């Protein structure tokens, strides 16, 4: 089971948002009250109750418009900077699930101060973590590690009917992604590429400049600097595996459907 990854082929995404809804359903997350802000992207951003968000971008392509869809989520970084930032304050608020490689935020995130949350969010190269101000919990995609432990696909992948989302053993996902890039290049998509594949477990494929899809589609440039700042304050307690009370652990008992 060890060493899992997503392969997210944006060329196959129709923006149906089935993944976005399935994520809310599995994680028991409420809908959000939203307003029309001039885009079909809804809600406008990730939040403590929206772990998966299909981003919409309209791009001028010399007389026509390209419409790009980007099912954004935590990348489950192989060496997660958010975990380093959290450990500067507290151990086991952010842990790595040894069976899958999922980066998981635990109940201990409630104990992180406002300043610590700011640093955790700033440390993320993809601007993913969000805080529930009412509960103090810091949240994001869990890789549905509870489902994966029981041999199920992540809920978002299960819901995707176009083949845009795949999940499985990392070598197989990397191979599928690289094969698809070659296939697309052969069809004339010269900019086809996979994003930050060596450092993340959510491997996105795009066919244009990544910034055309989302400003944080690839790791933001200043991350190296932020990470160097966090490291000297690091207190490493050897926590690498899940060993506590986890944010979604109870779901394994309460949800029985695929």
Contact residues for ligand SF4 (CB under 6 A)?
13-19, 22-23, 26-27, 51-52, 54, 69, 71, 73-77, 80-82, 103, 124-126, 128-129, 140-144, 154-156, 159-160, 162, 164-165
The residue among 55 and 192 lying less far from ligand SF4, judged by its C-beta, is 55
Shortest distance in whole angstroms from residue 31 CB to ligand SF4 = 15
Shortest spacing between CB 213 and ligand SF4, in angstroms: 13
Crossing angle between the packed helical segments 223-230 and 114-123, to the nearest 10 degrees = 140
Tokens describing residue 4: 């899992």
Our CB check for ligand SF4 shows the closer of 128 and 230 to be 128
Shortest Å, Cβ 122 to ligand SF4 = 10
Q: Which are the contacts of 149, defined by CB distance < 8 A and separation ≥ 6?
A: 1, 99, 100, 252
- Residues 6 or more apart whose CB falls under 8 angstroms from that of 214 comprise 55, 57, 70, 72
* Choice between 86 and 192, CB closer to ligand SF4: 86
- Minimum gap (Å) between residue 63 Cβ and ligand SF4: 27
Q: Where are the beta strands (DSSP E) in 61-136?
A: 65-72, 94-96, 103-105, 130-131
In Å, the largest CA–CA distance within the chain is 57
Q: In this complex, which beta carbon is closest to ligand SF4, that of residue 7 or of residue 192?
A: 7
């Amino acid at each position: 089971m060890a060493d899992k990854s997503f392969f997210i082929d944006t060329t196959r995404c129709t923006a149906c948002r089935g993944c976005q809804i399935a994520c809310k359903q599995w994680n028991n997350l409420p809908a959000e009250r939203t307003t029309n802000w001039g885009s079909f992207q809804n809600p406008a951003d990730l939040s403590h109750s929206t772990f998966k968000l299909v981003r919409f971008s309209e791009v001028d392509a010399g007389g026509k418009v390209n419409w790009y869809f980007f099912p954004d989520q935590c990348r489950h970084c192989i060496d997660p900077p958010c975990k380093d930032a959290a450990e500067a304050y507290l151990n086991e608020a952010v842990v790595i699930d040894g069976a899958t490689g999922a980066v998981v935020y635990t109940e201990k995130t409630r104990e992180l101060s406002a300043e610590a949350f700011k640093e955790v969010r700033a440390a993320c190269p993809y601007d993913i973590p969000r805080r529930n101000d009412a509960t103090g919990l810091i949240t994001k995609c869990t890789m549905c590690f509870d489902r994966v432990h029981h041999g199920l696909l992540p809920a978002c992948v299960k819901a995707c009917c176009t083949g845009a989302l795949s999940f499985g053993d990392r070598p197989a996902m990397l191979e599928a992604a690289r094969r698809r890039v070659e296939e697309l290049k052969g069809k004339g998509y010269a900019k086809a590429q996979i994003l930050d594949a060596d450092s993340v477990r959510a491997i996105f494929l795009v066919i244009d400049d990544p910034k055309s899809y989302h400003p944080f589609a690839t790791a933001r440039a200043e991350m190296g600097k932020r990470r160097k700042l966090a490291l000297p304050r690091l207190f490493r307690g050897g926590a690498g595996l899940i060993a506590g009370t986890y944010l979604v652990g109870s779901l394994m008992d309460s949800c029985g459907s695929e």
